[in-house]
């Protein structure tokens, strides 16, 4: 056992003494030490219940003959951080999470790990740590929130953000706004749509790092507690069989994940996180590969914000195993890949069945014969940009309009709420990229305001920052190179025409090269917004969104 270097032999008597000080028995000390990485805190609705799951995991570890040792990680609630300086820290926290897990696991010579994430950056941060450490491990997330319901309508967090725009446009009353906010999020769990948290929990299951149904069992369902116990027991089997992330996180596994990503219509943030995790695993993900996969993958599910179904609907319809079975039947997955169950994907899904063909469709009844995400190229995004195609109104798949240019999310939001954005406009929000932001602030406020004010089918938004997984509409993010690095988005002027062709994967600034050359000579690189603290360091080290916003090695 790896932990023997810390606890075995006469030389380690002092270390054993410290373990005895925590109430461990000699028998417990002699067993494998399994780290239980709990991201519980009292600031994230998706995490407030994780201590109960941690206890279930620890029970499972003990049942299977191990000794669980729990330790925490930080976590940022994107919803609470949205719309102010706090959002600069969200993406940046991913690296701290990965580093902190590495520190704890290596400093204490742990034999295996069970990860308990649930929301946005915590999941990929833990996946990055798992790939980096290559210790036997299993993931079990906190599970999705139930869907909010009021007056016969289903709601989620996005309903609140869009109601802000509706209120600003005098479409709803203050009383209606208050009613929506009180009913949209009915309890603990990751926000109920196919937003970033649920997207990444589903990707973790598809990658083979979590047990079947991990991505969809509701947070308040007793099945989630059973799943946590099973994860605790399973990690001991994974340890005994020496099943490590390096055996699971292969090129084939990431190809499968991207395929399911397209079939589900996941958050655009997966195009930041999957490449970052792959980088830690020594696997390269090229953005153009995403379009190739999308071209051949039907969009089989339309979950909020792209449709009216939520995660609880997906679970009742058969969960990810049923979706994987459909994709496997049409030859789009490599089901020979290993998983933490100790079985291949094919073995895991052999008995899976679609229980609601409207929620999980097949190739013939697919919402679209192409996937839910698209990578755009063009002079405005030479290194790529991403859009959730499945959540774009059909009339906005091709759009040409004048640029309305803003050097921050705050300025853009002010203009939208003030009614200064008109049908046909292309809102350009820049200096919000990995370096320029720094941290690529999510912009659910501006995008939701556009939807709530009735402009979703006539206004496009483009940014070198990113959008929430809850965003819908022609919202194009991750424009690379970013403005702070001298990307063409930095040279756009008010009124310039921008041509967006999502169907054909193109986005062009329609300005003559001679004029652009003049603008480039006149452009002055802005001073960094943060020079001290973590963000000061982060902005110096972070790379382009096209790399997954990973740090310089």
Active site positions, annotated? 468
User: What is the DSSP code string of 95-118?
Assistant: HHHHHHHHHHHHHTT-SEEEEE--
| Distant-in-sequence, close-in-space partners of 139: CB < 8 Å, separation ≥ 6 | 114, 115, 116, 117, 126, 127, 130, 204, 209, 210, 214, 231, 340
Q: How is residue 239 written in tokens?
A: 């340890």
Neighbours of 542 (CB within 10 A): 24
Q: Rounded distance, CA 526 to CA 16, Å? A: 55
Q: How is residue 524 written in tokens?
A: 């002055």
Q: Rounded distance, CA 493 to CA 43, Å? A: 40
Whose CA is closest to 549, among 462, 440, 443?
440
6 touches 86 (CB < 8 A): no
Q: Rounded distance, CA 22 to CA 16, Å? A: 10
Sign of the C-alpha dihedral computed for residues 485, 487, 491 and 497 taken in this order? negative
Q: How many residues does the chain have?
A: 553
Q: Rounded distance, CA 133 to CA 267, Å? A: 27
Q: Rounded distance, CA 166 to CA 448, Å? A: 9
Q: Rounded distance, CA 97 to CA 130, Å? A: 11
Q: Rounded distance, CA 266 to CA 307, Å? A: 12
Give, in order, the Cα–Cα distances in Å from 178 to each of 172, 184, 186, 300, 451. 10, 10, 14, 35, 19
| Distant-in-sequence, close-in-space partners of 268: CB < 8 Å, separation ≥ 6 | 373, 386, 387, 388, 466, 467, 469, 471, 477, 478
């Amino acid at each position: 056992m790896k932990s023997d270097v810390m606890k075995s032999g006469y030389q380690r008597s002092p270390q054993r003494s410290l373990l005895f000080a925590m109430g461990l028995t000699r028998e417990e000390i002699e067993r494998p030490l399994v780290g239980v990485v709990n991201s519980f805190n009292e600031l994230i609705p998706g995490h407030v219940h994780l201590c109960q799951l941690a206890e279930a995991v620890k029970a499972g570890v003990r049942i299977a003959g191990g000794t669980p040792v729990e330790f925490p990680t930080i976590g940022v609630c994107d919803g609470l951080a949205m719309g102010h300086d706090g959002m600069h820290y969200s993406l940046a926290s991913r690296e701290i999470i990965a580093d902190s897990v590495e520190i704890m696991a290596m400093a204490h010579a742990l034999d295996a790990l069970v990860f308990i994430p649930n929301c946005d950056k915590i999941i990929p941060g833990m996946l990055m740590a798992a790939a980096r450490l290559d210790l036997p491990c299993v993931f079990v997330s906190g599970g999705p929130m139930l869907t909010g319901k009021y007056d016969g309508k289903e709601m989620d967090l996005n309903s609140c953000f869009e109601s802000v725009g509706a209120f600003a446009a005098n479409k709803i009353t203050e009383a209606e706004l208050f009613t929506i906010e009180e009913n949209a999020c009915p309890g603990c769990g990751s926000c109920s749509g196919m937003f970033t948290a649920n997207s990444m929990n589903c990707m973790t299951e598809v990658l083979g790092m979590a047990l079947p149904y991990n991505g969809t069992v509701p947070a308040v369902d007793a099945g989630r507690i059973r799943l946590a116990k099973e994860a605790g027991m399973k990690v001991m089997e994974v340890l005994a069989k020496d099943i490590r992330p390096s055996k699971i996180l292969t090129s084939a596994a990431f190809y499968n994940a991207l395929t399911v990503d397209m079939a589900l219509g996941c958050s655009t943030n997966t195009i930041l996180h999957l490449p970052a995790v792959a980088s830690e695993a020594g696997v390269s993900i090229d953005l153009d590969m995403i379009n190739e996969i999308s071209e051949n993958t039907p969009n089989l599910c339309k979950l909020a914000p792209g449709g009216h179904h939520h995660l609880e609907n997906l679970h009742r319809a058969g969960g990810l195993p049923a979706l994987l079975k459909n994709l496997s039947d049409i030859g789009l997955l490599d089901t020979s890949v290993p998983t933490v169950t100790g079985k291949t994907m094919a073995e895991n899904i052999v008995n899976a069945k679609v229980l609601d063909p409207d929620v999980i469709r097949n190739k013939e009844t697919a919402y679209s014969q192409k996937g839910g995400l698209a990578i755009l190229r063009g002079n405005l995004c030479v290194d790529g940009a991403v859009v959730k195609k499945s959540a774009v109104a059909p009339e906005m798949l091709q759009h040409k309009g004048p640029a309305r240019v803003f050097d921050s999310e705050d300025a853009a939001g002010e203009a939208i709420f003030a009614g200064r954005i008109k049908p046909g406009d292309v809102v350009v929000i820049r200096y919000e990229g990995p370096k320029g932001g720094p941290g690529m602030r999510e912009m659910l406020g501006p995008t939701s305001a556009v939807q709530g004010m009735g402009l979703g089918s006539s206004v496009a938004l483009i940014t070198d920052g990113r959008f929430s997984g809850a965003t819908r509409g022609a919202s194009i993010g991750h424009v690379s190179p970013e403005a702070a690095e001298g990307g063409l988005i930095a040279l756009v002027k008010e009124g310039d025409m921008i041509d967006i062709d999502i169907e054909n994967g193109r986005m062009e600034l329609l300005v003559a090269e001679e004029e652009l050359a003049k603008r480039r000579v006149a452009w002055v690189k802005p001073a960094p917004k943060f020079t001290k603290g973590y963000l000061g360091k982060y902005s110096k080290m972070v790379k382009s969104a096209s790399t997954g916003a990973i740090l310089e090695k």
